[in-house]
Amino acid sequence: MTTRYLASIQSMAEALLIEHQLPDILDMKNPATGALGAMSITEVTEIVRRINGRCLTSATVGDLAMDATVISEALNAMSQSRVDYLKIGLFDDPDLEDCLEALKPQLKQLPQPVIAVLFADQISDASLVPTLAACGFAGVMLDTASKRGQRLTQLWSKTALENFVLQTKQAGMLSGLAGALKFEDITALRPLNADYLGFRSALCDQQQRTAALNPDRLEQLRLALAA
Ligand SMILES: O=C[C@H](O)COP(=O)(O)O
């Protein structure tokens, strides 16, 4: 079975570059402003319109403080773009629990499902997953906050990753794995049966996530996942 994948783009120019080889999820973020840096709502709106349902779309709302008011405003604003999934980063923070509690009603009312992004270089297990399901998240993605450090497969053991996928699925949510993944990680990650594997750095020139996305590398990824 082909493993589904998400590719992050940073602009309309990149969307146009790959619009004839779209991934399962076209993810929009601004890598220059953080792990989950946000693109402008106008540009996300235009890309969603251009893609016109040819694949699923997702957008991040930025590397924000764990402040429910700030996150709530960002979610409402990005929701206007009509992107399929909204993604928020849950950073290790003493205010995280209160923030999640305060976001609960909004998560259940937004027109789009919201994906929580957890950072494998900030936590060591999947213990937050049941709380996220109770809050109304539609999915959980593991990523890395630091993009100059280790990649996901170096941070968490296979058992820990397996447990994350299992717990997320058992809670009825989508599961995603990302974090400076290289094509060579696919062999180890595929058997875990996450719903999506996510890539940015590996698709870019010099494997630098802020550099230009290279369509040849996207094609190599597609072939590797289909093999
Ligand atoms: O959502 C997935 C990320 O954009 C992955 O980015 P990365 O491969 O540079 O860590």
How does pLDDT run across 126-139, given as a tens digit for each residue?
999 999 999 999 99
Mean pLDDT, range 92-112, rounded to an integer:
96
Q: How many residues does the chain have?
A: 227
**Burial state string for 23-52 with b = 16 or more CB within 10 A and e = fewer than 16:** bbbbbbbbbeebbbbbbebebbbebbeebe
> What's the pTM value of the predicted model, to 2 decimals?
0.96
Average pLDDT, the chain: 96
> Is the pLDDT confidence value at 227 over 90?
no
Among the atoms of ligand 1, which is closest to the Cα of residue 181?
8
Mean pLDDT, range 212-221, rounded to an integer:
96
> Is the pLDDT confidence value at 2 over 80?
no
Closest by Cα among 21, 17, 23 to 8: 23
Among the atoms of ligand 1, which is closest to the Cα of residue 151?
10
Kindly state the greatest CA–CA separation across the chain. Answer: 45
User: How many domains is the chain built from?
Assistant: 1
Ligand 1 proximal residues by C-beta, below 6 Å: 6, 8, 27, 143-144, 147, 178-181, 198-202, 209
Cα distance between residue 54 and residue 35, in whole Å? 26
Mean pLDDT, range 145-151, rounded to an integer:
88
Round to the nearest angstrom and report the end-to-end CA distance of the chain.
Answer: 9
108 catalytic residue (yes or no): no
- By the 8 A CB rule, do 103 and 131 touch? no
Q: Which domain holds residue 29?
A: 5-226
> Is the pLDDT confidence value at 54 over 90?
yes
Closest by Cα among 96, 102, 99, 104 to 122: 96
Closest by Cα among 204, 144, 221, 127 to 178: 144
- pLDDT band at 219, cuts 50/70/90? very high
Strand-strand pairing, 114-119 and 85-89? parallel
> Could you read off the pLDDT of 191-206 as tens digits, one per residue?
999 999 999 999 998 8
Cα distance between residue 72 and residue 56, in whole Å? 23
Cα distance between residue 74 and residue 187, in whole Å? 36
Percent of the chain with pLDDT over 70: 99
* pLDDT of amino acid 206: 87
Mean pLDDT, range 4-31, rounded to an integer:
97
Among the atoms of ligand 1, which is closest to the Cα of residue 147?
10
Mean pLDDT, range 150-172, rounded to an integer:
97
> Is the pLDDT confidence value at 115 over 80?
yes
* pLDDT of amino acid 1: 62
87 catalytic residue (yes or no): yes
The CA dihedral of 173, 140, 124, 197, to the nearest 10 degrees, is 110
Closest by Cα among 186, 163, 159 to 175: 163
> Is the pLDDT confidence value at 149 over 90?
no
- By the 8 A CB rule, do 200 and 166 touch? no
- By the 8 A CB rule, do 122 and 145 touch? yes
- 68 alpha carbon – ligand 1 mean position (Å): 24
- 53 alpha carbon – ligand 1 mean position (Å): 22
| CATH number for the domain that contains residue 174 | 3.20.20.70
* pLDDT of amino acid 174: 97
Mean pLDDT, range 89-94, rounded to an integer:
95
Element at 134 (helix H, strand E): helix 129-135
Is the complex ipTM higher than 0.90?
Answer: yes
